Amino acid sequence: MNVKVADKIAELLETLDIRHVFGIIGAGNVHIFEAIANRGFSELICVHHEQAATMAMQTYYRLHGKLPAVLLTTGGGSTNGVTGVVSAYFDSVPALIIAGNENSKFTTPENPLRIWGVQGYDSVHMIEKTTKYSVRVTDPTRTLTELQKARDIAIAGRGGPVWVEIPMNVQAAVIDEKTFAPYQEKPPAKPKLDKAQLDSAIEALRTAKRPLLWLGNGVRMTGAEEKIPALLEKLGVPALLSWAGADMVDSSHPLVAGRAGVYGQRSANFILQNCDYLLTIGTRLAIPQIGYDISEFARGARLDVVDIEAAEAKKHGSRVTQAIVADAGDFIDGLLASSLQTSPVQEPWRKQCNTYKTKYPWIGPEHSDKDGFINSYPFMTVLSEYLKDDAIVVTDMGTALLCGHQALPIKKNQRLLTSTGLGEMGYGLPGAIGASFANNKSEIICLNCDGGMMMNLQEMQTMVHHNLPIKLFVFNNDGYLMIKHTQKSLFGKKYVGTDKKSGVSCPDFSKLATAFDLPSYQIRTWDDAREMLPKVMAYNGAVVCEVFMHPEQLFVPKLGLSAALDGTLISPPLEDLSPPLPLADMEEAMIVGVHPKSRAMRQ
Ligand SMILES: Cc1ncc(C[n+]2csc(CCOP(=O)(O)OP(=O)(O)O)c2C)c(N)n1
Ligand SMILES: [Mg+2]
């Protein structure tokens, strides 16, 4: 029987249980759009910019672990989608992207032209470096095989996006159904856990005086996050959580040590910097986590790294005692099956961790209000009081990212999602849309900023069109506050392109809400917050809530440069966050000793 390839693609999406397809139509994908609509299984979510589709796909997968598809057209359609694809690649998020292209008579690798036919170009090679697999289907009989293969690669091992380019004539081809090539390839196998390495880590956990775990999103990617409480209770070992994994365990769990890093919590950084054995599982120890000098990072500790990708496990070279290339879930199962138990010898360390947490709470004196503006850090604490027990929070960059991750406590069934690798502004709103679709069009708390909003403003209409109950918070601080701070530290207070006076401005977000037929609220004071937050949360539908913040508010604590008394600039070690604590506090906190740089800054 003769069948149209596009119809078979739509059928395959159903077989793969792909319920949602994000995208924008064009001549380059029109056949597949048509076929999906005719089949009536996968819902087409028509966004207003392709980057929104590739951002939405990320939170969609991260929320319920099911693959969505993205359908891009040729030319600007596929180039627009690139940012979210790169972001997904960095953040290990599986996704299936189907991109259209010109007729395959143009799309041969030998074609030397920059542009093929109308809007055609070599998207497969453009995207090759930032996907796990990219392929052009020129033989219609291989269409389904390539899509299945791509999908298996996307979800295997360290997840990531895959890109299948299907030229227009291939989509439209009508061929004998029997001629489709059967899919016979085996999905890539995961690495096998080395028992000797596991035993060595178990021994180190048993004998360390101050052991520490650092758990990342890799744990969730293997579905092992539910085992974390049992693991902590069995081992009695405190655990840091990476930003991408911050929502895996309740923040108030007595053994959760917080979120450490360049924008870390003081207590978390002290715990990290004073441990004597650090075992990281499924987190990639990036600069925002470990600071700028690896030799100063957890400098009194043996470091073992568990990562499913060998290059990541080994990237810190000889600083790492054991680079364990393994699936995080397999490794956790190995720890759970071991004879390890909570060690009384480590009791003083558990107490010490609690002392850090009590002495240095997430909100400190550095977060006080200024010039009549409320501070965004305590705002997170207040906001958390109004969040439902299963709230899903998606953040953009800037204030939303930093304060969300430094100061928002997360309960057991709540989620906190953002782009941690690429850090692209504009992620918040499409991310909220993807999350809402993943969860049956449920309520999402979107923490956004004035700058970030302007990068995907158009998606307010997607939200409105689908009646998604997204609570859209916009932190308004007259422009790009994060970059104002960079400029201040580099050039003194000379701003270029970061606020209204220096070349960039934002509209009145309440008027904008009206244009989208949405209600809006404004918060300027704590009284406003107490009055508006219940209304925002109780509103049945999408709503905009603008929160006005000081245009110069500090993001603290932060690992920043400090000046010694002689004027030379010092990059302090990771425990010495700004604003700096008195030397006596550092001496009391640093079991491994105060770093000479920290002394130099204070003499
Ligand atoms: C797509 C993109 N362009 C530029 C940047 C660089 N950048 C990082 S933070 C920032 C300013 C963010 O401003 P806003 O979203 O208003 O947050 P704020 O820092 O003001 O709270 C900029 C321009 C980026 N991260 N992503
Ligand atoms: Mg801003």
Q: What is the pLDDT of residue 562?
A: 76
pLDDT category, 493, cuts 50, 70, 90? Answer: confident
Residue 564 has pLDDT above 80, yes or no: no
Same domain, 445 and 474: yes
Same domain, 238 and 278: yes
* Helical spans, DSSP H, in 30-142: 30-39, 50-64, 76-80, 82-90, 123-127
* Separation of CA 45 and ligand 2 centre (Å): 29
Positive or negative: CA dihedral 383, 244, 50, 466: negative
* Separation of CA 452 and ligand 1 centre (Å): 6
**Which ligand 1 atom is at minimum distance from the Cα of 450?**
16
CA distance 157 to 489: 41
Q: What is the pLDDT of residue 451?
A: 98
CA distance 509 to 542: 14
323-355 residue pLDDT tens? 999 999 999 999 999 999 999 999 999 999 999
Number of H helices, E strands in the chain: 26, 22
Lowest pLDDT segment from 245-259, 272-286, 480-494: 480-494
* Separation of CA 425 and ligand 1 centre (Å): 6
Summarize the confidence of residues 164-171 as an average pLDDT.
98
- E strand or H helix that includes residue 586: helix 583-589
Same domain, 209 and 331: yes
Same domain, 315 and 447: no
Cβ count within 10 A of residue 291? 24
> Ligand 1, atom 12: nearest CA belongs to which residue?
480
Per the domain annotation, does 189 fall within a domain? no
Residue 278 pairs with which residues in a beta bridge? 212, 303
User: Which pair of tokens denotes residue 546?
Assistant: 């603008």
Summarize the confidence of residues 97-107 as an average pLDDT.
95
- E strand or H helix that includes residue 546: strand 543-548
Same domain, 323 and 423: no
CA distance 257 to 34: 51
What does each C-alpha distance from 215 to 257, 283, 287, 340, 379 come to in angstroms? 11, 6, 16, 18, 27
Burial class (CB in 10 A: 0-12, 13-18, 19+), 156: middle
Report how far Cα 364 is from the mean position of its chain's Cα atoms: 26
Per the domain annotation, does 323 fall within a domain? yes
pLDDT category, 440, cuts 50, 70, 90? Answer: very high
Quick check: 138 and 160 in contact, CB under 8 A? no
Per the domain annotation, does 185 fall within a domain? no
CA distance 417 to 428: 9
* Residue 598 phi, psi (nearest 5): -65, -35
- The amino acid present at 523, given as its one-letter code, is I
Per the domain annotation, does 428 fall within a domain? yes
* Separation of CA 478 and ligand 1 centre (Å): 12
Q: Residues with Cβ < 8 Å from 317, sequence gap 6 or more?
A: none
Same domain, 466 and 523: yes
Per the domain annotation, does 554 fall within a domain? no
Summarize the confidence of residues 430-441 as an average pLDDT.
98
Q: What is the pLDDT of residue 565?
A: 74
33-69 residue pLDDT tens? 999 999 999 999 999 999 999 999 999 999 989 999 9
Give the residue from 359, 389, 424 where a domain finishes.
Answer: 359
Map tokens 């809400």 to a residue: 513
Same domain, 579 and 518: no
User: Which pair of tokens denotes residue 196?
Assistant: 């000797």
**Which ligand 1 atom is at minimum distance from the Cα of 453?**
15
Residues with CB under 6 A from ligand 1: 396-399, 423-426, 449-452, 455, 475, 477, 480-483
Q: What is the pLDDT of residue 146?
A: 98
Same domain, 487 and 523: yes
Q: Which ligand is nearest to the CA of 263?
A: 1
Residue 569 has pLDDT above 90, yes or no: no
Map tokens 């480590």 to a residue: 346
**Largest interatomic CA distance in the chain:** 84
> For residue 213, what is the domain's CATH number?
3.40.50.1220
What does each C-alpha distance from 229 to 65, 277, 384, 493 come to in angstroms? 21, 20, 22, 47
Q: What is the pLDDT of residue 561?
A: 80
* Separation of CA 493 and ligand 2 centre (Å): 17
Cβ count within 10 A of residue 454? 17
Reduced to 3 states (helix: H, G, I; strand: E, B; else coil), residue 160 is: coil
103-141 residue pLDDT tens? 999 998 889 999 999 999 999 999 999 999 999 999 999
Summarize the confidence of residues 516-534 as an average pLDDT.
98
**Which ligand 1 atom is at minimum distance from the Cα of 477?**
20
Quick check: 594 and 602 in contact, CB under 8 A? no
Closest of 487, 484, 476 to residue 546, by C-alpha: 476
Quick check: 231 and 332 in contact, CB under 8 A? yes
Residue 239 pairs with which residues in a beta bridge? 213, 256
pLDDT category, 271, cuts 50, 70, 90? Answer: very high
R_g (Cα) of the chain, nearest Å:
25
Residue 191 has pLDDT above 80, yes or no: yes
* Separation of CA 426 and ligand 2 centre (Å): 12
User: Which pair of tokens denotes residue 87?
Assistant: 């972001």
404: region left, alpha or beta (phi > 0 left; psi from -120 to 50 alpha)? alpha
> For residue 89, what is the domain's CATH number?
3.40.50.970
Q: What is the pLDDT of residue 39?
A: 98
Same domain, 61 and 154: yes
Per the domain annotation, does 556 fall within a domain? no
pLDDT category, 284, cuts 50, 70, 90? Answer: very high
Q: How many residues does the chain have?
A: 603
Quick check: 56 and 22 in contact, CB under 8 A? yes
Same domain, 139 and 56: yes
Q: What is the pLDDT of residue 570?
A: 82
Give the residue from 359, 387, 419 where a domain finishes.
Answer: 359
Residue 30 lies in domain: 2-179
What does each C-alpha distance from 37 to 33, 45, 466 come to in angstroms? 6, 11, 17
Burial class (CB in 10 A: 0-12, 13-18, 19+), 473: buried
Reduced to 3 states (helix: H, G, I; strand: E, B; else coil), residue 454 is: coil
* Separation of CA 100 and ligand 2 centre (Å): 36
Map tokens 């064009």 to a residue: 26
Q: Which ligand is nearest to the CA of 487?
A: 1
Quick check: 47 and 23 in contact, CB under 8 A? yes
Per the domain annotation, does 469 fall within a domain? yes
Same domain, 436 and 345: no
CA distance 473 to 467: 17
* Residue 245 phi, psi (nearest 5): -110, 15
Same domain, 85 and 151: yes
Quick check: 393 and 408 in contact, CB under 8 A? yes
Closest of 77, 125, 128 to residue 99, by C-alpha: 77
SS3 helix, strand, coil % of the chain, rounded to 5? Answer: 40, 15, 40
Per the domain annotation, does 223 fall within a domain? yes
Q: What is the pLDDT of residue 355?
A: 98
CA distance 262 to 257: 16
Summarize the confidence of residues 541-569 as an average pLDDT.
91
> Ligand 1, atom 11: nearest CA belongs to which residue?
480
368-396 residue pLDDT tens? 999 999 999 999 999 999 999 999 999 99
Q: What's the structural domain count of the chain?
A: 4
Q: Which of 263, 453, 480 to mutate to test the pocket of ligand 1 (most atoms within 8 A of CB)?
A: 480
Q: What is the pLDDT of residue 372?
A: 97
Give the residue from 359, 374, 401 where a domain finishes.
Answer: 359
Q: What percent of the chain has pLDDT over 70?
A: 100
